[in-house]
Amino acid sequence: MVIQLKKAYRIKKNEEFQAIFKHGKSFANRQLVIYYKYKQKQTHFRVGLSVGKKIGNAVTRNRVKRYLRECFIHLEDDILPDLDIVIIARQPASEMDYKAFKSSLLHLLSRQRLLKNKRESRK
């Protein structure tokens, strides 16, 4: 069975992307850049993905996006609900597997304290 990131969890509109770029905060590691902005009265986080043509051909770019969506599905209960997040993949992301994406994403999210406390998420 294929589990998909719900449509309500996605950022699609260019205006929303631009608002996050302009008013949000950013941080990065070698593989990923994350922009985030707090949005009050939101019941769940939302994610926008950007994978440019420098990453590779369409097959590679789609694989990167699939891996990132899968990471967010598995981290759904651990990420703060009042966030809008935009992920931009960098060149080294084209050679990563799912496990590497998950550890890279966890590293960035925990470094910026965008994850719930472990005690809260277990309730």
Q: What's the mean per-residue pLDDT of the chain? A: 87
pTM (two decimals)? 0.85
As for how many domains the chain has, the answer is 1
State residue 103's pLDDT score: 93
Is the residue at 62 inside a domain? yes
2 within some domain: no
Tens digit of each residue's pLDDT (9 = 90 or more) over 52-87: 999 999 999 999 999 999 999 898 888 888 899 999
Question: Is 1 contained in some domain?
Answer: no
- Domain of residue 97: give its range: 7-122
Q: Residue 123 — pLDDT band, cuts 50, 70, 90?
A: very low
Percent of the chain residues past pLDDT 90, beyond the cut: 64
> HEC states along the chain?
CCCCCCHHHECCCHHHHHHHHHHCEEEECCCEEEEEEECCCCCCCEEEEECCHHHCCHHHHHHHHHHHHHHHHHCCCCECCCEEEEEEECHHHHHCCHHHHHHHHHHHHHHCCCECCHHHHHC
Instruction: Flag whether 113 is in a domain.
Output: yes
CATH of the domain at 78: 3.30.230.10
